[in-house]
Amino acid sequence: MCVVVAMCAAGGATLRPEPLAVRTVAAAQADETVTIDGEKYPNPLRMNDGTAVTAAQWGNSRRAELLADFRQNVYGQSLPTPTAQTFEVTPTDFPGVTRKKITITVTGPQGTGGFAVDLFVPKTGGKPRGTFLLIDHRGQVGDDPGQTSGYAPISTITEAGYAFATFDAGQVAPDDSGSYRSGMINLFHPSDRELPDDAGRTISAWAWGASRAMDYLQTDPDIDPTKVAVIGHSRSGKAALWAGAQDTRFAAVITNDSGSTGTKLARRGDGGVGAETVARINDSFPHWFPQTYKAYDDRVDSLPVDQHELLALVAPRRIVVASATDDANADPEGEFLSYLAAAPVYQLYGLGDTGLPSTTWPPATDQGFRGPAMSYHLRSGGHGLTATDWGIYLKGDLFSRDAGAPGAR
């Protein structure tokens, strides 16, 4: 409607100040901030030039604007698409499951390197119900299809009819401030030079690794490429979110206890519970984020973005947020508020139902809440990716927009 007003003026037509025109122009002035828990936060539904964001603008321009801001100020510029990439696949049969060991070999301007992905496909007679791709920063999953750990219960996942894929994030970028460039980063940056201030570091590289694993999954005839969820816990939960925000091939994004620079709102500081702040995460893990992020250590209010806008970048695909009651370092209430604050963007698509019965903190524990494109749960207990979390994910009907399986709401 604003466009109509401008066109009338430019075309020299009589521009009558009709009440309708006045109303539409006024409606186009989006508020600069949204209020969350009494504090001001950037409004995802406002372009940087101040105009209100419509559904079409969200996909066409606001997403790009927010991604650019997150790249420049928080996660860093991503590694580029490899100049060449190959997949070597070794399948092995097990009762009920085929395991494929995949080596992804990547070439960049500075050399060639690789990392491994393990994929477990249930023999269901058709395609699996979906695939969970776990970014594994612990390097602990191993290749046993019978594995039952809470962190990666492969047999439970495949028995539920889902495929499970994982890679050791340390092969993409070691989680170490001295050697983090020695995986994939130095294939793209000369090793004898400092990285640019705005270049992504470990978390960005892990997210890039998830996209390379997704490149493979797109080619595997046993996998439905339209039903792949990227999942990560804690530091990998930050990477999973960043991967899913950028790479729209992921149908769902699961971020488990991701806390600071994951789901938690940065402007909440320590959330009144001693949670990890931007200053603290940059100090403790100097190799996770670019130099540009460190400039906000003592002025988080100047960040052009906050983390509810990262969750919103997953829209209209499914966002899944999980927190744990005793995980004070991650500020579970700050994660809950961030989840709620992403809903207005989902609402552009008519998908703003968070599944939660109310916006009051805390919601009931150990129960999945599911809207058509947003899912949330608050597990009782401490920081971790556990059998309870996986139980809720597996029951959560995450690859559909239906009202939800019984018990998933």
First and final C-alpha spacing in the chain: 39
137 is annotated as an active-site residue: no
Instruction: Provide Rg for the chain, Cα atoms.
Output: 22
Given the complex with ligand GCU, which of 202 and 292 has the nearer CB atom? Answer: 202
Question: Alpha-carbon dihedral of residues 290, 291, 295, 298, nearest 10 degrees?
Answer: 70
* Residue that has been written with the tokens 């519970």 in this structure: 273
Catalytic residue, candidates 234, 258, 260, 375 = 234
CB 243 within 8 A of CB 222: no
Nearest approach, Cβ of residue 170 and ligand GCU (Å): 13
Q: Where are the alpha helices (DSSP H) in 224-290?
A: 235-246, 278-284
Number of amino acids touching ligand GCU (CB under 6 A): 7
- Select the residue interacting with ligand GCU from 44, 259, 332, 391 (CB under 6 A): 259
Answer yes or no whether residue 235 interacts with ligand GCU by CB under 6 A: yes
What does the block give as tokens for 364? 């009931």
Local structure of 66: helix, strand or coil? helix
Which is closer to ligand GCU, CB of 288 or CB of 369? 288
Verify binding: residue 309, ligand GCU, rule CB under 6 A: no
Please report how many Cα atoms fall inside a 13 Å half-sphere around the Cα of residue 301, on the Cβ side: 3
Regarding 389 and contact with ligand GCU (CB under 6 A), the answer is no
Q: Which is nearer to ligand GCU, 131 or 260 (CB)?
A: 260
* Residues in the chain, overall count: 409
The answer to whether residue 281 forms part of the interface with ligand GCU (CB under 6 A) is yes
What is the C-alpha to C-alpha distance for residues 255 and 239, in angstroms, rounded to an integer? 9
Q: Which residue in the set 307, 329, 354, 386 belongs to the binding site for ligand GCU (CB under 6 A)?
A: 329
Catalytic-residue membership of 234:
yes
Tell the smallest beta-carbon distance from residue 289 to ligand GCU (Å): 11
Enumerate residues 113-152 that contact ligand GCU by CB under 6 A: none
- Residues found near ligand GCU in the complex (CB under 6 A): 234-235, 259-260, 276, 281, 329
User: Looking at the annotation, which residues are catalytic?
Assistant: 234, 383
